[in-house]
Structure 1
Amino acid sequence: MSRKNLLEISSPNGERPEPAPHRDSRPLAGLAPTVRSGSPVGGITKTLGNITEKMERATDLERQLAQGQTIVEIDPALVDASFVADRLEIDPVELAQLVEQIREHGQQVPVLLRPHPEAKSRYQVAYGHRRLAATRMLGIKVRAVVRELTDEQLVVSQGQENSARTNLSFIERALFAARLEERGFGRDVIMASLGVDKAALSKMMSVISQVPMAVLTAIGAAPDVGRRRWAELAERLTPSNCETIATELSADNWRALSSPERFQRALEIAQNKEQRAVSAASNAEIPGLPVTLKTSAKSATFVFNNKAAPGFDRFVQERLSQLFAEYQQQQGA
């Protein structure tokens, strides 16, 4: 299907619209009224004139679409997502609110598309994924500006618009940066797309490198959770508690909670691992002996009271070989 047919360029009932107010840019061809001749015009002449007029309007509209100078309506089924995802999820509550706003007031802000670089007659969205999703739910066409964009121009537009309008969370921005780097984009392009300096980008990349994707997916976008708390979680993660976090938060009862609540639970799991290791370390006096036993999850230490029994530590030390031999004998029995 050609782009001309999608845009449904036509002149209803053959009528010409009223003159548009003066603007700096030239109006679309065929929209400004022409001076009618006072002499009668034959049917064939009128038909040829209408065909020529429509061709001129379509050609001019194609030119303006390529330059991104006008807003058009496009079937959402012809629009594909950006080649780099910038969100972990679309909040269903926010999406429902957006659907109601568009239902009541119409789509006020257009999305930005480019002609799909690999699929003819299709488009790829630079920004406006939520608006696109809302129009799909409503079953209406999406209002869009179409521009020819390189991959770099698309990701910079995508990152800057999302940072300014939709306030991506810290972890989504960090994940977006990591995905761009995986695709070979330089740090200068990544910094431009996110509007950050080198130091801020380095901190993002440091955090995202320590948090497995399974944990990120289980937690979600976690709005309002900033770099410091994510860094705290990242420092406490181990292979064991990562598996626990991903398993627990993926369960239905935990998925029902908000993303910030799931983040808090993940931090509690990571902290509890450390707390259990600390609480496992204990001091215990051995009844009747001048010795205290200190234990932890990985070791045990005897502390001798030299004031109560001077030289007892050396006495035990001299007999350690004999004690160990008895231990091995019992283990082999």
Structure 2
Amino acid sequence: MARKNLIEISAPNTVRTESVPAKDNRPIAGFLPQARSGGPVGGITRTLGNITEKMERANDLERQLAEGQTIVDIDPDLVDGSFVTDRLEIDLVELGQLVEQIREHGQQVPILVRPHPETKGRYQVAYGHRRLAATRELGIKVRAVIRQLTDDQLVVSQGQENSARTNLSYIERALFALRLEQRDFGRDIIMAALGVDKAALSKMLIVMRQVPLALISAIGPAPDIGRRRWLELGERLESIDCEPIVAELSADNSRKLSSDERFQQAMTLAIGKPASAKPAAAPSTISGVPVTFKRTPARATFVFDSKAAPGFDQFVQERLETLFNEFQQGKET
């Protein structure tokens, strides 16, 4: 932003007035200014004072911009999405309604962005993805607050805004929690972003372990389906093969259904399949290791023989994080 514009839109500072003693009008050295003539020296002094005042006001506005207290207009093509996706899809009907609202009344609520951490001159959204999409469709600039944000601050702002507006479904919030965990955000940050306690976060992550991502994508956000139903579906899926359910929901006739209806269809298919549709794997052992395990489509369970190797379970538990990091690195390479 040019310095000239900063000066022109700044509000003038309040002029400070000096109090004069009521009883004694005699000048006190260093307190009452001496009278100055209107000659050139006085004019130069006033000019310098005005320049200083304008610079102070410009600096104050720059500070407000840095703190995200000023709304600016940005070309939406310069704005990228958050590095953590929190939606399965954008409802085209709702987006169309938002486009018409902004067309008629303007964008009433600004989005929050930060300077892009990797690309100079670009920005990254913390929240306001739908408003950004609407302004793109209208071909107008998006009103935004620019704020310097760390990754932690961005995801907390992103999650809290969505929680306040209650426009994310339960499964989208659970998926957001999983994505944050996969990016090594701490549980305290995830709980703050979602506005949930430890127990609620644990249930979200249980659902994400039980229900495959392919099935969640086939169902969609299911806005009217809450935690209890998702947990119930997850429990049903533990003993069956869910690939036929994913195939059924991905068919053209199912895609015409609403997301909530696809969830009901998945539940019906899961209930209709007997638990023996995919026999549970018999416990397996590793030669020479006092551990047995069994695997289902959704989870694997390890059982340690404490009598044969006391303390081995604790030894493995302490090294799980290291093992998981090695696993992730192997997938990346």
TM-score tier after normalising by the smaller chain length:
0.5 to 0.7
C-alpha contact (below 8 Å) 1:241/1:269 kept by paired residues: no
C-alpha contact (below 8 Å) 1:113/1:145 kept by paired residues: yes
What do the CA deviations read for 1:87-146 (whole angstroms, capped 9, x no partner)? 111111111111111111111111011111111011000001111111111111111111
What do the CA deviations read for 1:33-66 (whole angstroms, capped 9, x no partner)? 99xxxxxxxxxxxxxxxx9999988765443221
Closer/same/farther in 2, CA of residues 206 and 52 from structure 1, 3 Å limit: same
C-alpha contact (below 8 Å) 2:207/2:230 kept by paired residues: yes
Does residue 96 of the first structure (1) align with residue 87 of the second (2)? no
What do the CA deviations read for 1:239-259 (whole angstroms, capped 9, x no partner)? 864212222222232222110
Q: Secondary structure of the residue that 2:124 maps to in structure 1?
A: strand
What amino acid is aligned across from residue 110 of structure 2 in structure 1?
Answer: P
Closer/same/farther in 2, CA of residues 172 and 9 from structure 1, 3 Å limit: same
Q: Distance in 2 between matches of 1:245 and 1:52?
A: 71
Aligned partner of 1:38 in structure 2 is none
C-alpha contact (below 8 Å) 2:66/2:147 kept by paired residues: yes
Q: Distance in 2 between matches of 1:54 and 1:253?
A: 66
Q: Distance in 1 between matches of 2:80 and 2:128?
A: 12
Identity among equivalent pairs (%): 73
Aligned partner of 1:266 in structure 2 is 266
Correspondence 1:1-333 to 2 at 5 A: 4=1, 9=5, 28-29=9-10, 32=12, 61-237=61-237, 241-274=241-274
Q: Secondary structure of the residue that 1:69 maps to in structure 2?
A: coil
What amino acid is aligned across from residue 128 of structure 1 in structure 2?
Answer: G
Range that drifts further, 130-139 or 57-66: 57-66
Q: Secondary structure of the residue that 1:83 maps to in structure 2?
A: coil
Deviation at residue 8 of structure 1 after TM alignment = 11
C-alpha contact (below 8 Å) 1:80/1:124 kept by paired residues: yes
Q: Distance in 1 between matches of 2:151 and 2:78?
A: 19
What amino acid is aligned across from residue 262 of structure 1 in structure 2?
Answer: R
Q: Secondary structure of the residue that 1:97 maps to in structure 2?
A: helix
What amino acid is aligned across from residue 181 of structure 1 in structure 2?
Answer: E
Q: Distance in 1 between matches of 2:239 and 2:176?
A: 24
Give TM-score scaled by structure 1 length: 0.66
Closer/same/farther in 2, CA of residues 142 and 272 from structure 1, 3 Å limit: same
Closer/same/farther in 2, CA of residues 8 and 181 from structure 1, 3 Å limit: farther
C-alpha contact (below 8 Å) 2:240/2:276 kept by paired residues: no
C-alpha contact (below 8 Å) 2:68/2:146 kept by paired residues: yes
Query: What RMSD over aligned residues (CA atoms) do the two structures have, in Å?
Result: 3.0
C-alpha contact (below 8 Å) 2:6/2:61 kept by paired residues: no
What do the CA deviations read for 1:185-237 (whole angstroms, capped 9, x no partner)? 11011111111111111111111111111101000000010111111111111
Q: Distance in 1 between matches of 2:100 and 2:83?
A: 28
Q: Distance in 2 between matches of 1:270 and 1:131?
A: 37
Closer/same/farther in 2, CA of residues 106 and 54 from structure 1, 3 Å limit: farther
Closer/same/farther in 2, CA of residues 55 and 254 from structure 1, 3 Å limit: farther
Q: Distance in 2 between matches of 1:213 and 1:207?
A: 10
Q: Distance in 2 between matches of 1:10 and 1:200?
A: 47
What amino acid is aligned across from residue 269 of structure 2 in structure 1?
Answer: I
Aligned partner of 1:316 in structure 2 is none
Q: Which of the pair has more CA radius of gyration?
A: 1
Query: How many residues are matched?
Result: 244
Long gaps (5+) in structure 1: 17-27, 35-50, 278-333
C-alpha contact (below 8 Å) 1:9/1:54 kept by paired residues: no
C-alpha contact (below 8 Å) 2:172/2:221 kept by paired residues: yes
Deviation at residue 272 of structure 1 after TM alignment = 1.1
C-alpha contact (below 8 Å) 2:239/2:276 kept by paired residues: no
Q: Secondary structure of the residue that 1:235 maps to in structure 2?
A: helix
Closer/same/farther in 2, CA of residues 8 and 87 from structure 1, 3 Å limit: farther
Long gaps (5+) in structure 2: 15-50, 278-333
